[in-house]
Amino acid sequence: MTNYLVLVLATLACYAASLGCYVRFLYAPARPVGRAATFALSGGLILHYFALLARSHMIHGVPYDDLAGSLSLFAWLLAATYLCLELVLRQKTVGAFVLPVVLALFVFAHAFATPGTAAPPARGAIFALHVTLNILAYAAFALSFVASLIYLIENRMLRDRRLGPLGWRFPALDALEQLSRSSVRVGLASLTIGVATGFVWAHRLLGRYWDDDWKVGITLLIFAAYAAYLVLARTGTWRGARASALCVANFVFVIFSYSIVNLYLSRFHRYL
């Protein structure tokens, strides 16, 4: 327990330091500060991984048996996905917007969520794949949410002809649009496989593929909403700010699915 607590606190410190550096970098983009932000985030990711592992050993099961573990994995995947994109795109300004989400998820996972076990008993490779891929999809949607939000802010600045200091530091609108679309594509692919493995797992456990559970319904709604975003973003009427606004709005379903549905409405995905 002590080791686990130390890992959680060390991870928290790294993420907080990374957030501080990213925010500082946004206002005064000095290269050492940017490097420190990435370094702290990488450190946080490594420590976070070991924290998840320690949790797994503690509860003798997968680390996402409960809401806390699930949110923690969500935060880890979001941070990892962002880091990969940062290294590929060489664009650090988005970090100041992603890290607050990572930090909030991590803090909520470890401070407020009550540990418990999911019902029915969650074990096995298919279940692990099902949960991990769905959470990866949510992480990708979270990233598209952040990219679209920045798009809307920057677009407003450009339209109003008031760029200010931040306007010159954001990525280009085109890059943000691409980032958002790529994230949604990754999210939809993960969600598709995640849902499919969920059906297989349900069949093994319950003897039927389908069960009228809130989680299934909301997941299909999320799928439809993000698929609609991808299609509409290519049409003349929606391309640009409208599609980005839709992407931001879609994330409400993800939050609803993760909070209200998981906590109160779902029978098979409820954390207790």
Binding site for other proteins (CB under 8 A): 28-32, 154, 158-159, 161, 163-165, 167-168, 170-175, 235-237, 239-242
Listed in sequence order, the residues at least 6 apart from 141 whose beta carbon sits closer than 8 Å to its beta carbon are: 183, 184, 187, 222, 226, 250, 251, 254
Shortest distance, CB of residue 239 to other proteins, whole angstroms? Answer: 5
Shortest distance, CB of residue 178 to other proteins, whole angstroms? Answer: 9
Contact 15, 100 (CB under 8 A): no
| 174 vs 212 by CB, closer to other proteins | 174
| 33 vs 118 by CB, closer to other proteins | 33
| 192 vs 235 by CB, closer to other proteins | 235
Shortest distance, CB of residue 181 to other proteins, whole angstroms? Answer: 14
Shortest distance, CB of residue 101 to other proteins, whole angstroms? Answer: 24
Listed in sequence order, the residues at least 6 apart from 255 whose beta carbon sits closer than 8 Å to its beta carbon are: none
The alpha-carbon radius of gyration of the chain (Å, integer) is 19
| 164 vs 207 by CB, closer to other proteins | 164
Helices and strands counted in the chain (H then E): 9, 0
| 31 vs 208 by CB, closer to other proteins | 31
Contact 61, 123 (CB under 8 A): yes
**How far is residue 13's CA from residue 6's CA, in Å, rounded to a whole number?**
10
Shortest distance, CB of residue 174 to other proteins, whole angstroms? Answer: 5
Listed in sequence order, the residues at least 6 apart from 31 whose beta carbon sits closer than 8 Å to its beta carbon are: none
